[in-house]
Structure 1
Amino acid sequence: MSNIEFGMPTLIENKDLQSNIDLCTSLGLRFIELNMNFPEYGITALENTDMLISAARKAGIYYTIHLDEKLNIADFNPLVSEAYLETVRRTIEVMKKLIPLRDEFGDKAKPLTLNMHMEHGIHITLPDSKVQMYDRDIDTYMRSFEVFRDRVDEWIGDADIRIAIENTDGFKSYEHSAIDYMLGSDKFVLTWDIGHSKAVKESDVPFIMERTERLRHFHIHDGSEVPPKNHLALGDGEIDICERLALADRSNARCVLETKTIDALTRSVAWLKERDLY
């Protein structure tokens, strides 16, 4: 057994919050990661914190939050980037109200995480290559993250909240620079999505392993390199799950069992129980 707290993602098969909560409790999971890409968990819905807290308290669970996957605080259009920044600000305010749930039903030693992706931006296709606009305009790109980091420091203040930066389909070199800049603040940490990294032939692993002291959140699901697959039930792919969980345990990280179906989630919980990892 370990000190890991396991949770579940928002599942598309579940039509409402209560369906997710019922599944979470039936499997003995500790938390749900609310995904803001679902309209029922958009910012205006999340701001109904009384409802969220009441439902969670009855079930004895808590929440983490996954920001909109297209969140792009470096968009060259300031109207767009400011809208995304405002989304982050308001989501942090929601999370501050959710901290007592973590304190009641989770581990106070684990900060409450707000998960985010890195948006690659657009590219221009030339006859023999592709040029990433953020790579071309790296100074403008990095200035956006200077603003973002400063504002996040202010918005979070002394609350026990961290923004966790997740790997997806392979970080770009300019994203390495932005991530390292954000990690210059203690308000930012890393999420390791072990299925995503497997599907891109572990290209992100060297970058992550050089920064393991900043790992605080894991998305756990199986995957394969050829053909590239992820979000598989544990045991259905090629990943050494036990090795990854050992690192999560050493990192004092919580883990989302990020399969995408009820069946795969149920089988993943059973896989963990069979190995006394749950």
Structure 2
Amino acid sequence: MKLGMPTLIEFKSLEENLKRCKELKLDFIELNMNIPIYTPEFLPAQELLDMKFKYGIDFTIHLPEEFDLSSFQPSIRQGHLDRCIETIDWAAKAQIKTINMHLNKGIYFTLPHTKVWINEQYEAEFQQRLYESYCKLYEYSNKLGVELCIENTANFHLPWVSRALDRLSEFDNFFLTWDVGHDAVAGFQEEPTFRRFSNRIKHMHLHDYNHKSDHQLVYSGVVPINERLQFAEDHQLTVVVEVKTSTTLAQSIEAIRNNYKRS
């Protein structure tokens, strides 16, 4: 198991994050592409490699949540697919192994007494577009030695999402990120999916949920932190302690080191 941190919005440069990562004796930083300075255009692969060797710290990549590889709008779907391919190239050149991504559950129409999800109503088309996109991505990422890990966003328990994951699992390089805080938000309804695909989990996002908000200090809510850390250790996962401030990150790392004893 390796522990890492997210790129923190309070820091204005990668080097500030690297210094904090080094101070906390962590193994890696997850570059969040929602922040403009952590994209291929602003951060060349060679610069990442130089930083990696200077600080002895690895990286993972977090793709923007809005990417929709099953979009019913062809040009949007193609644009998101192209950006994923560009990111895979960037990761490979920077010797980054893991890209964290999301499975967009789509939009819904609110009726007087229910919600109608478009991806559920048009599930065959949704699944086919998603499958075709991932077919291209898995083939390309496999050639470059990059692993794509699909993160739960309190959506893996939705029937049409669960069935889509089943279909994607046909690919040998289908991998998952277990976000344990998002799972808690969903009332732990996503956990059965992760137990079913336990041998496909490569990455974890660790944070707590206090019935009001997630991304909270570990051990402050309902997530069984030690149990999740034990799973991560047993499966040799990379674990991002995904809290949002430098102070909470330091407190979380200290709490893990005080409360979790590696077996």
**Same fold, TM-score > 0.5, yes or no:** yes
Q: CA deviation at 1:40?
A: 1.1
What is the match of residue 21 of structure 1? Answer: 18
- The Cα offsets for residues 226-252 of structure 1, whole Å up to 9 and x where unpaired, read as x33211112212222111111111112
What is the match of residue 223 of structure 1? Answer: 209
- The Cα offsets for residues 114-154 of structure 1, whole Å up to 9 and x where unpaired, read as 11112121111222211111111111111112211220132
What is the match of residue 194 of structure 2? Answer: 208
Contact 1:149 1:185 in 2 (8 A): no
Q: Name the aligned partner's letter for residue 130 of structure 2.
A: F
Are residue 163 (structure 1) and residue 148 (structure 2) matched? yes
Q: CA deviation at 1:277?
A: 4.5
What is the match of residue 8 of structure 2? Answer: 11
- The Cα offsets for residues 168-223 of structure 1, whole Å up to 9 and x where unpaired, read as 12332111122222221122211111111112211111121121111111111122
1:196 to 164, 172, 182: 182
Work out the CA distance in 2 between the residues paired with 1:161 and 1:233: 30
Q: Name the aligned partner's letter for residue 264 of structure 1.
A: T
1:85-104 equivalences in 2 (<5 Å): 85-99=81-95
Q: Name the aligned partner's letter for residue 155 of structure 1.
A: Y
2:38 to 41, 66, 74: 41
Contact 2:206 2:239 in 1 (8 A): yes
Structure 2 portions without partners, runs of 5+: none
What is the match of residue 134 of structure 1? Answer: 119
Work out the CA distance in 1 between the residues paired with 2:154 and 2:213: 11
Work out the CA distance in 1 between the residues paired with 2:196 and 2:135: 24
Work out the CA distance in 2 between the residues paired with 1:170 and 1:120: 7
Contact 2:30 2:59 in 1 (8 A): yes
Contact 1:152 1:187 in 2 (8 A): no
What is the match of residue 228 of structure 2? Answer: 244
Query: Secondary structure, in 3 states, of the residue corresponding to 2:94?
Result: helix
What is the match of residue 234 of structure 1? Answer: 218
Deviation >4 Å, runs of 4+? none
Q: Name the aligned partner's letter for residue 161 of structure 1.
A: V
Q: Name the aligned partner's letter for residue 153 of structure 2.
A: T
Contact 2:46 2:93 in 1 (8 A): no
2:170 to 175, 178, 184: 184
Work out the CA distance in 2 between the residues paired with 1:27 and 1:276: 16
Q: CA deviation at 1:76?
A: 0.9
Work out the CA distance in 2 between the residues paired with 1:232 and 1:255: 15
Q: What is the TM-score with the length of structure 1 in the denominator?
A: 0.89
**Alignment coverage as a number of residue pairs:** 261
Q: CA deviation at 1:24?
A: 0.7
Work out the CA distance in 1 between the residues paired with 2:179 and 2:64: 16
Work out the CA distance in 2 between the residues paired with 1:277 and 1:13: 31
Work out the CA distance in 1 between the residues paired with 2:104 and 2:40: 19
Work out the CA distance in 1 between the residues paired with 2:171 and 2:55: 34
What is the match of residue 150 of structure 1? Answer: 135
Q: What is the TM-score with the length of structure 2 in the denominator?
A: 0.94
Is the alpha carbon distance of 1:276 and 1:240 closer, same or farther for their aligned partners in structure 2, counting shifts above 3 Å? closer
